[in-house]
Every structure is written in C-alpha cells, then in structure tokens.
Amino acid sequence: MNKEWIDIAEEICRRCGGICCVDAHPPVSTGRKDLMVRAGTSENVFEFYGYQRLAARSDGTCIMMKNGRCQVHGIKPETCISGPFTFDLHGNVLEIYLKRESLCPLVRYLKEDREAYDCQYEMAVKNITSLVEEIPRSELEVIVRIPEPETDKVAEIILTRGYV
C-alpha cells in the first residue's frame, strides 16, 4: 500500500471518529496482548467475556479510543487491523466479509482503488488467520456467535485444520 493511500485511509478514519469502535469488543490474541502490554498498555484494558477482548466504556466505546482516535493504532488487535474486513468460521472454512459503507466509510474508497483493496484484504486475511490459529477453540466458538450485520461475503478460504 503506498504512502498516499495510507494518508487517505488515516484521514477517512480520523473523520469517521470510530464508528467501528463502538460495541466492537475486538478479540485479542495472547501474542497481541503481550505486544500491547510490552508497549505500555495497562493490563486493565483487557477483559474476559467468553474470550479475551478489549474492554469498553459504559457508552460502548472501546477503552483505547480517545478523542475519536485509537491510542494503540500501530499495535491494535488483529480484527481492528483487518477492518473493514471481518470473518466467520465454519469447520475449516474461513469466511471473509467486507463491512458495508454504512459501518465504515473506508469501504467506498477500497472499492474505488483495487490496489488498496487487495493490500487491505491480504493484510486482513493474514491477521484474521493468525488470530484464528492462536485463539483457543472455546473462545472462537464464542466469537463466531457474535452477529456481524451489514457485511457482504467476499471470500472463503480453506484452512489446513478445522476450528469450530
């Protein structure tokens, strides 16, 4: 992804103010949690609710959001890095979904720029696959029950082992 696209994407996210950061409760792998803690993130921002995740404030906003910006942008959870792509899992089939523009204004720009779309998609698949491989099966079972409204399936990937 080129610098120009990264600047555009960051501006879109800045203007959005974090719609995707409300009621999201992103799962956090142990490896990502360790990385975040080593970088200075407090252990108090994590909670376990069937799976390890970032906590939210009483209004539903991610605890890492401040003034409409992510405070751990460079090391945020795998699903946050993958946005606006998300996933579902059935056995060894990893389904990749793209959120609709009503949830993420970045989607329109991804659809207009095939190179940016492909780059973000590849990054999403890499991060989602890593997350799925690291999270315990019992936690994955909880995560895949979370509804993902306003998304469209864009791919199915056969994984080498079954998960849920």
Element (H, E) at 83: none
The pLDDT of residue 14:
77
The predicted structure's pLDDT at residue 3: 66
pLDDT at 164: 53
Asked if 148 contacts 104 with a C-beta cutoff of 8 angstroms, the reply is no
Instruction: Fill in the DSSP letter of residue 132.
Output: H
Question: Given this model, what pLDDT does residue 16 score?
Answer: 81
pLDDT at 39: 94
Arithmetic mean of pLDDT over the chain: 89
Residue numbers in the chain where pLDDT is lower than 70? 1-3, 5, 161-164
pLDDT of amino acid 149: 86
Run of H or E including 99: strand 93-99
Name, in order, each residue with C-beta under 8 angstroms of 26's C-beta and a sequence gap of 6 or more.
Answer: 53, 54, 62, 76, 77, 78, 79, 80
pLDDT number for residue 118: 93
